[in-house]
Amino acid sequence: MLGPHLVLDLYGCPKEKLEDVKFIYDLLDELPEQIGMQKIMPPYVMRYVPEDDPLDWGISGVVLIAESHIAIHTWPDLNYASVDIFSCKTFNIDLAKEIIEKKLSAEKTEWEILVRGREFPINLLKRGRNATI
């Protein structure tokens, strides 16, 4: 397999955290190092307010890591956030969940792990890294 994809749904999060661009930025900025990943760019975080649905506003952010990405989307008026961590290497899933749940003060969390790249030719990738010219 290529790697795990942690998908989190966080309910009952305080609106103050979910609407705070700096708070979400800091979460994405600190999380990669905390779970053993290498950040390759600063987080990109923005507030989104659609014209047609006032409840659909929130904060969205992403940070690219050498291993893939971490993304978060919030719905402050609904006290809900979704977080995705996709990595092409294994990581401490329980630690990642614990950090995110604590930072967002979630009352309830649902999660699952998707297995990405079940037929990814990892042997070819490894062989390419060790190839001599």
Catalytic residues: 68, 73, 88
Specify the DSSP element, H or E, that contains 16: helix 15-18
Query: Pairing relation of β-strands 44-48 and 58-65?
Result: antiparallel
Cα–Cα distance for residue pair 11/9, rounded to 1 Å? 7
C-alpha angle 82-83-84 in degrees, rounded to nearest 5: 130
